[in-house]
Amino acid sequence: MFLSCHLGYKLDKDEINKGYTTEAIEKGIDIIFNEFGLHRIEANIMPKNKSSLRVVEKLGFYNEGLAYKYLKINGKWEDHIHMVLLNDKV
């Protein structure tokens, strides 16, 4: 049974470091786990995106490994860190 989803987000550069992303993802986690009953949330983040990594780590995501050349961005294949949050109630 597949009870998983992928997390993606983007925020205007003028609104960064105000807690909006953390607050929104926190609410999303509640809905995904408690209303939809999913087992895991996955987020793939480029290693150089330290602020995004801090956000998901703060929310309890853990590093499951590096996905080499995961996405092609601006003509270049970029590695991504595979971050995961599990729902222990499922």
Can you give the CATH number for the domain in which 69 is found?
A: 3.40.630.30
- The position carrying tokens 């998983």 is 4
- The closest of 62, 58, 21, 24 to 41, measured between CA atoms, is 62
Domain span at residue 31 reads: 4-86
Residue 74 pLDDT level (bands cut at 50, 70, 90): very high
pLDDT at 19 over 90: yes
For the chain, the domain total comes to 1
What are the structure tokens assigned to 51, written together? 């602020």
pLDDT tens-digit map of 24-42: 999 999 999 999 999 999 9
pLDDT at 66 over 90: yes
